């Protein structure tokens, strides 16, 4: 599947997997595709953008070849979802260094608070077409 909006996420992180499930549920137009950062596509994207390929603490949105990270990526995704979730995009007005400080605090504690899986999530057959390997 080819998409111009791809969400890259930590495939073993329970919080990240829950976030992907949330987006899938609220993305009624099916605008987003998904790939784990650990996948071949994820690794290739990280390398192309000179990002660490072994440290998976960023939520990434790749949109039309432009890469957004951390809180900016999350807010850009929220903006494309249905009301009232899209209202969260107002937080883009807060300076990125403040938003990302909160983002990094959560990212640094996500395994401790939400746990982690031994393996990346396997999408159901109905959702498989929205995932990039």
Whole-prediction pTM:
0.85
Query: pLDDT digit string (tens) for 28-70?
Result: 889 999 998 888 999 999 999 888 777 777 789 999 989 999 9
Bridge-based pairing state of the strands 66-69 and 33-36: unpaired
Distance of CA 4 to the CA centre of its chain: 14
pLDDT at 93: 96
Tokens of 57: 């603490």
Residue 22's pLDDT is 93
C-alpha span between 94 and 39 (Å, rounded): 32
Contact 132, 33 (CB under 8 A): yes
d(CA 3, CA 29): 12
Instruction: Provide the percentage of residues in the chain whose pLDDT is more than 70.
Output: 92
What's the start-to-end Cα distance of the chain, in Å? 10
Tell me the CA distances in angstroms from 91 to 46, 78, 80, one per residue in order.
Answer: 26, 10, 14
The set of residues, in sequence order, having a beta carbon less than 8 Å from that of 126 and lying 6+ positions away, is none
**Tell me: the pLDDT tens digits for 79-127?**
999 899 999 999 999 999 999 999 889 888 887 888 877 666 666 677 7
Say whether pLDDT at 78 is over 90: yes
**Residue-level pLDDT at 41:** 92
* φ and ψ of 8, to 5 deg: -105, 135
Q: Is 41 helix (H, G, I), strand (E, B) or coil?
A: helix
């Amino acid at each position: 599947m080819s998409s111009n909006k791809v969400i890259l996420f930590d495939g073993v992180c329970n919080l990240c997997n829950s976030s992907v499930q949330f987006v899938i549920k609220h993305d009624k137009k099916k605008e987003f595709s998904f790939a784990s950062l650990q996948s071949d596509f994820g690794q290739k994207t990280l390398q192309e953008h000179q990002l660490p390929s072994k440290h998976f603490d960023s939520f990434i949105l790749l949109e039309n070849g432009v890469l957004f990270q951390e809180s900016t990526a999350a807010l850009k995704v929220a903006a494309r979802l249905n009301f009232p979730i899209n209202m969260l995009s107002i937080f883009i007005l807060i300076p990125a260094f403040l938003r990302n400080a909160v983002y990094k605090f959560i990212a640094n504690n996500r395994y401790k608070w939400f746990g982690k899986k031994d393996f990346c999530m396997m999408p159901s057959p109905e959702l498989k077409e929205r995932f990039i390997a």
